[in-house]
Amino acid sequence: MNTSLTAATATTPSRFGYATHLSCRECGHTCPIGSGHACAECFGPLEVAYDLPALTRESIESGPLSMWRYASLLPVPQDVASTPNLDPGWTRLVRADLLASTLGMRELWIKDERGNPTHSFKDRVVGVALAAAIELGFKVLACPSTGNLANAVAAAAARAGIRAVVLIPADLEIQKVIGSAVYGCSLVAVRGSYDDVNRLASELADEREDWAFVNVNVRPYYAEGSKTLGFEIAEQLGWRVPEQVVVPIASGAQLVKVDKGFAELTSLGLVDEQPWRVFGAQATGCSPVSAAFAAGHDVVRPVRPDTIAKSLAIGNPADGPYALDVARRTGGAIADVGDAEIVEAIRLLAQTEGIFGETAGGVTLAVLRKLLAEGRLDPEAETVIINSGDGLKTLDAVAGAVTVPAPIRPTLEAFQEAVS
């Protein structure tokens, strides 16, 4: 065969970029790009598969200052950056020297996801889900959410000019409730846990054919958005994969896709081949994946969540088994921390680096501390932790741990009495 002809006709992007099909993560059965999310053979979860083009660092570096610089590695139209969207991503990677020295570490970085349009990493997954949902012909963007996803869906749908329907547990933080309602979405507060809300959303997804539930019936596309966290971390380190990364776990998708992002950059030759270890972080009050890791189990036994880290409160995590696999395969670990340690870590991050993270960020930093203390994480190795959301959305969690002063009279004497 004429090889130059083969090369010329190899990969031309479709409306789904270089994605070629969906593939079952359990049995490998394949099906065409479409709105399926479960394998017809075994009901296993489907994942997007690609025929990736050759890429250079320069071609990525000259792209937009958003996650769309990696459009060719995502299942989206290649002109996605020019469609009405929120341009998520390209958040700061902060070198945390003061925090590192407090913890006795050599080199620590924080990927600060507060810089996203609705202040959490969820804007990334929604960006990909929205683009794919439009290509697939859906008319409504919907989701079950622990809060941040609802904010991201409501905002992205508003900008795209389509209807949003978001379902949340009724006991969410008020900042996340108002932070969805303000975008003019249909907001439904459900009396029950996130897992109850998720079940209801799955029933609705079967019934409403033109509703894209971003994390249910378009989940294969949605999940791919988290790869961009891995891409950005490596690019911002100067095209290098860190030796250790600590990632919070709710469904487990973010952790699995950070690993996949590192793997794709490595296989494309965009970073040198170097091992990395992936660590997962949960709150003790919702730690089904951490418990399975500790017990050496491959399956995750569902729990009923009870923690201040509501954004991570998924008792039956869809990607739990895959997160276990990533942590074990890379030589990492998964651990959990109690609510008091979470609050303490939120304050430590704020007071050493000026970053007010949400409860999920507190979980991640507290797990880093715990793993260091237990000698399971190397203080000499280059480490990145993810602060996935904004502390202004979870004020109640720290309200009791900081001192809010009583007002004083506007006089020097009153000031000197109040401040030593």
Tell me if 129 contacts ligand PLP by CB under 6 A. Answer: no
Q: Which is nearer to Zn ion, 27 or 373 (CB)?
A: 27
Tell me if 358 contacts ligand PLP by CB under 6 A. Answer: yes
Identify whether the C-beta of residue 287 lies closer than 8 Å to the C-beta of residue 311. Answer: no
Q: Which does 29 bind (CB under 5 to 8 A by kind): ligand PLP, Zn ion, none?
A: Zn ion
Tell me if 388 contacts ligand PLP by CB under 6 A. Answer: yes
In order of 23, 32, 149, 378, the CA distances from 37 in angstroms are 10, 11, 19, 38
Tell me if 64 contacts Zn ion by CB under 5 A. Answer: no
Identity at 215, one-letter amino acid code: N
Task: Scan for tokens 């996605």, then name that residue.
Answer: 80
Tell me if 29 contacts Zn ion by CB under 5 A. Answer: yes
Tell me if 27 contacts Zn ion by CB under 5 A. Answer: yes
Please give the residues from 139 up to 178 whose contact with ligand PLP meets the rule CB under 6 A: 148
Please give the residues from 262 up to 301 whose contact with ligand PLP meets the rule CB under 6 A: none
Phi/psi of residue 383, each to 5°? -130, 140
Task: Compute the least distance from the CB of residue 215 to ligand PLP, in Å.
Answer: 8
For residue 166, give the 3-state DSSP assignment.
strand
Query: What binding mask, one character per residue, do residues 238-257 give for ligand PLP by CB under 6 A, x or -?
Result: ----------xxxxxxx---
Q: Which is nearer to ligand PLP, 19 or 312 (CB)?
A: 312
Tell me if 391 contacts ligand PLP by CB under 6 A. Answer: no
DSSP 110-161: EEEGGGSTTSBTHHHHHHHHHHHHHHTT--EEEEE-SSHHHHHHHHHHHHHT
* Separation between Cα atoms, residue 290 and residue 300, nearest integer Å: 9
Tell me if 44 contacts Zn ion by CB under 5 A. Answer: yes
Query: What binding mask, one character per residue, do residues 305-344 give for ligand PLP by CB under 6 A, x or -?
Result: ------xx--------------------------------
Tell me if 40 contacts Zn ion by CB under 5 A. Answer: no
Identity at 81, one-letter amino acid code: A
Phi/psi of residue 333, each to 5°? -160, 165
